[in-house]
Structure 1
Amino acid sequence: MSSAPDEIDFDYATTLADRANGFMAQHRVPPTPENFAVWFFYAMGGSLTLKKTIDILIANKRKFDSLVNRDLYVTYVRPYSDPGLSDDIPDQVHAVIASAQEFLATAISDNRSQMESLGEVSSECQAVADPRPIIEKLLKELSSATSRSTALEANFLRTTQDLDQIRDSLKLAEQHSNTDPLTGLANRRSLEAFLRTAQITSMEAGTPLSILMIDIDYFKTFNDSYGHQVGDQVLRLVGRVLQESVRDCDHAARYGGEELIAVLPGATLDVCAEVAERIRRRIGEARLTRRATGEEISSVTISVGVAQFRMAESAEGLIERCDRALYQAKRSGRNCTVRESSVDEEIAA
C-alpha cells in the first residue's frame, strides 16, 4: 500500500474531490465524511489494493451498502488517519539512521580533503624535479584513504548488524501481534487481513473460497467442572487439531472465546465440509487427562458451520452465513457439521 502524500496542490485536490463526488453519485454512495475519504483516496490512486477492490465490486455490480462502505473505510483509509502511527517507529531506527548519516558525512568530507590533497600533489609534480618526495606524499595520502575506508566499512558493518537485529525484533513483534497467545493460531486481526486478500484473489481468478467455523460444545461446563486451566487445555487441543488438518495455504485462527475459524482458498463448499468432518472426528477421538491429577476428562466435541464465498460479498456477510450454519449445528444436537446450503433450504421450506 503506497503512502498518502502530506500535502496536495489545491487545484489538484479540487479535481480529485469533484471526481470522488462523481463516483459516489454514480454508485449511489451516501455522502458521509468516511465515504468521501474512501472515494477521494480511490480517485487519488493512493492505494492499489483499494482501487482493485472497488473496481472488482463495480464489475460484479456489488451494491455499496453500509457494511461495504464501512469495511472499505476501516481497511484502507483509517490506517492513514491514525496519528499514532509515526510513534510506532522504534527509537533505535532513528539512532541507526543518524549514525549512518554521520558516517556518510565523514566519508564525503574525507573524500573532498583527499581530492584536494591529490590536486596539490599533482601541481607539485609539475614544479619539482625530484619525484621521490611527491611519491612519498602520494603513498601517505593513499594509506590515509585506505585507513578511512576500512574504518567506514567497519562502521557500516556494525550499522548493518544493528539493522538486522531491529528487523528481527520487528518481525518477532509483528508475529506476536498476529498470533493468539493461548492457541498459537492466528488472531482475529491476522484473520481479517488474510480473508480480505483471499476474497480479492477469489474474485480476480474466479476460484472458490470457503470457511469453516468451530464452536466447542459445552465449553462452559469444562471451565465450571474442571477449572479454567482445563478449559485452556481443551482450546489448545482443538486449535492444534485444526492447524494440523488444514493446508499450508489455509489460515487457521481463533475468532473469539471458544470459536475458531479457518479460511480455505480454492476450496469448494463440499471440500470444506470434508475438512470440517475430519477435524470433528479427530477431536471426538482425542482423550484429555487433567495434568494435576491424571484424571481423564470427558471427551471433547465440536459443532461446525461451513460456508462458501459469494462473489463480491463482504467478509462480514460470509462470516455471518457461516455463523448461521454453526448455530444450526448447535440446534441440531451439536457434534455435527452443517453447511450453509442446509440452512438456506430450511429457511426456504
Structure 2
Amino acid sequence: MVKLLDEHERTLAFAEVALGQIRSLRQTAVPRNYEIWYVYATGYNAPLNKVINETLARSGKLSESDLEQIYETYLSHIKTSDRIDKVGARVIGEIDAVMKLITDALGVSATYDASLVGASDRLSTATTRDQIKTIVEGLAKSTREMRETNQALESRLALSKSEINELQHSLEAIRAESLTDPLTGLGNRKYFDRSMEMAVQAALASGEPLSLLMFDIDHFKSFNDSYGHLTGDQVLRLVAQSLKQTIKGQDITARYGGEEFAVVLPNTALRQALTVADHIRRAVMAKELKKKSTGEILGRVTISVGVSMLKPADDTDSLIERADACLYAAKRAGRNRVICEADPEFSAETQTRVA
C-alpha cells in the first residue's frame, strides 16, 4: 500500500511539472505537449531533455515546430513496439478463440459418431415402429446439432480470416515503420543493411553492375553547435528531401547514421553513379536553409560524396569500405564534391577520416 501511495505521489509530481511547463511557456495543453513535458520531468529520455534545455537556453521558448520536431524525433517511434505488442495480443486472442471453437466442434463430432454407432446397434434390434421412430428422431437431432456446429465454425473462421488479414496489414505497416528513420522518412540503418545485402547478392548472381554512394553533410557539427540540435534536425530533413526528389525507381536510400546517408544504385555503372551523385550534391546545395522558428536565413548546405562500384570479389563490407574511403577523400580534398575509386584523390591515405 505504501509503495502504491509513493508511486501515486511520484507520478503526480511529474504531472505537475509537465503542466507547469506548459503554463509558463504558454503552450497549448494538448496530449502531445503534455507527453513531451511529462517525459522531460521523468528524466528517462536524456536526448530529449538535452535538446529541450539547449533550445530554451538559446531562445527561451519552444515554438510549435520545435515541439513537433521533438515529438517526432524522440517519442513517436517508441510507440511502435507497443503497437506490435497489441497486434500480437489480438492475433493470439483470435487463434485462441478459433482453437476453442474447433475443440468444441471435435467434441460434437465425436458425440455424433457415437450416436450413429448407437443408432446402428439399436436399429438392428428394434422390433416396433415406435422404437424405429425414436431412433430416427435422435439421429435427426444429432444431425441438426452437427450442422449448426459446422455452420458456427464456418462463420467464425470467415470472421477470423478477415480479422487476421486486417492484423497482417497492421503488422506490415508496423514493419515498414520499423525500417524507417523517423526524422527523415528515409530507410534506417536496419533497412539499409537488409537491402544492401540483397542487392549485392542479386548483382553478383546476375552480373549486373551495382554502385554505392555514401555521403556526409559538410560541417554538420558546426550547425549543431551554432544553432542547436533542432536546426541540425532540419538540415537532415532538407538533405533527405533532396534525396527523395532526386532518387527514383528501384534505387535504395537510407540514413546510414548521424549525418551520413547511403544510396544503393542497382543496374548502375560507375559513370552513371557519378552523374547521380553530382545531381544529389547540386540539389542539396540549391536549397536555402531557413530557421523555422525565426525565419532567419542560415545559408546553404553542402555534402561530400564517395562512390564505389561492385567488383566480382566484393562483399557488402568491402563495397561500403571503398565508398566510405572515397567519401573521406572528398572531405580531404575540400568538401562539396564527388570522388570515386577511379579518381587520383582516392588512395590508402584517404581513409584517414577528417571532421
Q: Please say whether Structure 1 and Structure 2 have the same fold, judged by a TM-score greater than 0.5.
A: yes
SS in 2 for 1:298: strand
Shift of 1:222: 2.0
**Within 2, Cα distance between the matches of 1:173 and 1:298?**
37
Runs of 5+ in structure 2 lacking a partner?
A: 1-84, 350-355
Matched, 1:337 2:335: no
**Within 2, Cα distance between the matches of 1:92 and 1:328?**
52
**Within 2, Cα distance between the matches of 1:345 and 1:168?**
47
Q: Deviations over 1:107-160 (max 9, x none)?
A: 112112112223444455563546655554443333212221222233334443
8 Å CA contact retained: 1:324, 1:343: no
**Within 1, Cα distance between the matches of 2:105 and 2:155?**
13
**How is 1:272-291 mapped onto 2 (pairs within 5 angstroms)?**
272-291=273-292
Runs of 5+ in structure 1 lacking a partner?
A: 1-86
2:199 alignment partner AA: A
Match of 1:34 in 2: none
Distance 1:97 1:345, change over 3 A: closer
Match of 2:204 in 1: 203
Matched, 1:317 2:315: no
8 Å CA contact retained: 2:116, 2:139: yes
**How is 1:208-227 mapped onto 2 (pairs within 5 angstroms)?**
208-227=209-228
Matched, 1:100 2:98: yes
1:107 alignment partner AA: A
**Within 2, Cα distance between the matches of 1:277 and 1:215?**
13
The correspondence for 1:118, drawn from 116, 119, 128, is 116
Match of 1:49 in 2: none
8 Å CA contact retained: 1:325, 1:339: yes
SS in 1 for 2:342: helix
Q: Deviations over 1:35-85 (max 9, x none)?
A: xxxxxxxxxxxxxxxxxxxxxxxxxxxxxxxxxxxxxxxxxxxxxxxxxxx
Distance 1:132 1:193, change over 3 A: same
1:99 alignment partner AA: A
SS in 2 for 1:342: coil
**Within 2, Cα distance between the matches of 1:274 and 1:151?**
63
- In the alignment of these two chains, the number of paired residues is 261
**Within 1, Cα distance between the matches of 2:102 and 2:332?**
69
**Within 1, Cα distance between the matches of 2:315 and 2:348?**
21
CA RMSD of aligned residues (A): 2.7
Per mean C-alpha deviation after superposition, the further-off stretch among 215-224 and 171-180 is 171-180
Shift of 1:261: 0.4
8 Å CA contact retained: 2:184, 2:240: yes
Match of 2:293 in 1: 292
TM-score, normalisation: structure 2 = 0.66
Match of 1:244 in 2: 245
Percent identical residues: 38
Shift of 1:171: 2.5
SS in 1 for 2:254: strand
**Within 1, Cα distance between the matches of 2:273 and 2:308?**
8
SS in 2 for 1:325: helix
8 Å CA contact retained: 1:188, 1:256: yes
Match of 2:261 in 1: 260
